[in-house]
Amino acid sequence: MKNISNTELNAIVSTPNYDRRNLKSRIVHLGFGAFHRAHQGLFTDEIARKSDSDWGICEVNLFGGEALIKDLRNQDHLYTVAEKGADATDVKVIGSVTESLHPILDGVETVIEKMAEPQVAIVSMTITEKGYCADPATGLLDKNNPLVIADLEHPTRPKSALGYIVQALKLRRQRNIAPFTVMSCDNVQENGHVAKAAILEFAQLLDSELAAWIEQHVTFPCTMVDRIVPAATEETLTEITTLLGVQDPCGIACEPFRQWVIEDNFVAGRPNWNIAGAEFVSDVVPYEEMKLRMLNGSHSFLAYLGYLGGYAHISDTMTDQGYRKAALDMMMLAQAPSLTMPEGTDLEGYANLLIERFTNPSLKHQTWQIAMDGSQKIPQRMGGSLRFHLEQGSNFKWLATGIAGWMRYVAGVDEKGNDIDLRDPMAAKLSDICDTHGLNASVVPALLSVEAIFAADIGKNPLVIDAVTHAYQSLIDNGARATVSAL
Ligand code: NAI
Ligand code: CS2
């Protein structure tokens, strides 16, 4: 490995130009995963570079990620983000993390006590869709979720993010400390509203006075977050080592594009993330819907049908003209018409930019990764637009093919007969249904009847059943590539 001197390092890698000792842990973030490192962590670093911001982040992983937290501590909480364009890579060392905690390393109580500290103004989250313990079809708390059941039984030793937040808020109320803002940064439709509903209902089941206090004093801004950040691989980490000159096990690579639209509704102040390009608005929902339907909806479409068609990465699907055209049609013909956007929004420009971002050959974003947790993703990425087309009587074949692709994928075996490593919180239930039917179109109405995923207005609708059955049969008869290209 090349040994780079400090001067050389600074010439190619940008490092924090501010005194990190001035930062305070005013944010506790749950979910020190790939995305947060390349998004909120980087925005928070950038505002410290450009202003006198004192906002620092205490990182917490509630599920897994102990090794990552240990590694982060070993390097003074610094880590690298490599922004990879088609032709060039920018490397940034991020300095916004002040400290880190993990319940397994530090104890549950230490994490809750940190969240209860008076200087903490925001608890933010990237805990994946399933972290909200909500029913994907309705967005309301799933009282049968094993984490919810366990946390209601042992509220002072929670496991779920909801349990931690409610316990920390309880301590703040008891100690007369003002509450924090709860900010979701997950790809969940109306993420703030879903977080609020789940937290309030959970609190209500524990202590109705606490629930009323939370409702009155805590805010839950919605956010639209966007940046494609594939999971780190050995290859990315090796590349970062080469660029940096030292190893960084916490390093992460992502695309150059980033967007963050935030509802300006904070109870205890907030960083001026706008200095780094975030937008504060009064209503985020239209932007969230645009992104979830056009970007994430077509991502899921490409993930299932791409994986089945033998494409390992999103950029590989973009080299196939059939997939490329189908993805653009999915955006413009299936998703865009269902949106109500502020005047002047250029959806065609947005779609073309998405195709360009998906094409980025430097970004190895696995179709298998995006295919994960489909039961949580499909309803919000395709359900709303499906309803729109049913009301309008318009063509929804792209959505039907996307859903059929998911159904064929959860069968657990690919077109060559190889097993698929299915990851989904509902995997056992989905596999049971698929095993009963085999690769037969009779599985379509059976999967559409899973009400936690498809509300009855969709799942029992004969037009939906017909269209998805037709697409599923084509996948069985002709395979994914021919089915996509025939769209
Ligand atoms: P990741 O796998 O790197 O990290 C997942 C994080 O979620 C970990 O910190 C883990 O501790 C936490 N987690 C998992 N299950 C949990 C649970 N039940 N309760 C609490 N915490 C839990 O994934 P990544 O890429 O960071 O994505 C996380 C989320 O960020 C996504 O699900 C999505 O909602 C959002 N996001 C991701 C983007 C990306 O391109 N990676 C872009 C935009 C949003
Ligand atoms: C992807 C998203 O994994 C997935 O489901 O669709 O994480 C996507 O990369 C981001 O939302 C882009 O902002």
Would you say the CB of residue 161 lies under 6 angstroms from ligand 1?
A: yes
* Residue tagged 């979701």 (tokens): 184
Atom of ligand 2 nearest to the CA of 35: 7
Contact 366/306 with Cβ under 8 angstroms? Answer: no
Whole-prediction pTM: 0.94
Among 136-150, 340-354, 472-486, whose mean pLDDT is lowest?
Answer: 136-150
How far is Cα 243 from Cα 293, in angstroms, rounded to an integer? 36
Question: What is the distance in A from the centroid of ligand 2 to the CA of 77?
Answer: 25
How far is Cα 487 from Cα 386, in angstroms, rounded to an integer? 17
Contact 475/397 with Cβ under 8 angstroms? Answer: no
Question: What is the distance in A from the centroid of ligand 1 to the CA of 130?
Answer: 9
For a ligand 1 pocket test, name from 58, 126, 296 the mutation site with the most ligand atoms within 8 angstroms of its C-beta: 126
Give the single-character DSSP code of 420. Answer: P
Would you say the CB of residue 127 lies under 6 angstroms from ligand 1?
A: yes
Report the pLDDT averaged over residues 117-123.
98
Q: What is the pLDDT of residues 385-415, one digit of tens each?
A: 999 999 999 999 999 999 999 999 999 999 9
Show the tokens assigned to 349: 């420009």
Q: What is the pLDDT of residues 285-309, one digit of tens each?
A: 999 999 999 999 999 999 999 999 9
- Residues paired with 223 in a beta bridge: 262
Would you say the CB of residue 128 lies under 6 angstroms from ligand 1?
A: yes
Nearest CA residue ID for atom 10, ligand 2: 228
Nearest CA residue ID for atom 3, ligand 2: 370
Show the tokens assigned to 48: 């410290």
How far is Cα 250 from Cα 186, in angstroms, rounded to an integer? 20
| Full 3-state SS string of 324-339 | HHHHHHHHHHHHHHHC
Residues 6 or more apart whose CB falls under 8 angstroms from that of 110 comprise 101, 103
Would you place residue 8 in the very low, low, confident or very high pLDDT band (cuts 50, 70, 90)?
A: very low
Would you say the CB of residue 227 lies under 6 angstroms from ligand 1?
A: yes
Report the pLDDT averaged over residues 460-472.
98
Would you say the CB of residue 378 lies under 6 angstroms from ligand 2?
A: no
Nearest CA residue ID for atom 6, ligand 2: 296
Q: What is the pLDDT of residues 355-367, one digit of tens each?
A: 999 999 999 999 9
Among 6-20, 323-337, 466-480, whose mean pLDDT is lowest?
Answer: 6-20
Would you say the CB of residue 226 lies under 6 angstroms from ligand 2?
A: yes
Q: What is the pLDDT of residues 49-86, one digit of tens each?
A: 999 999 999 999 999 999 999 999 999 999 999 999 88
Q: What is the pLDDT of residues 85-94, one digit of tens each?
A: 888 899 999 9
Among 2-11, 198-207, 281-290, whose mean pLDDT is lowest?
Answer: 2-11
Element at 12 (helix H, strand E): helix 6-12
Q: What is the mean pLDDT of the chain?
A: 95
Q: What is the pLDDT of residues 338-349, one digit of tens each?
A: 999 999 999 999
Nearest CA residue ID for atom 8, ligand 2: 228
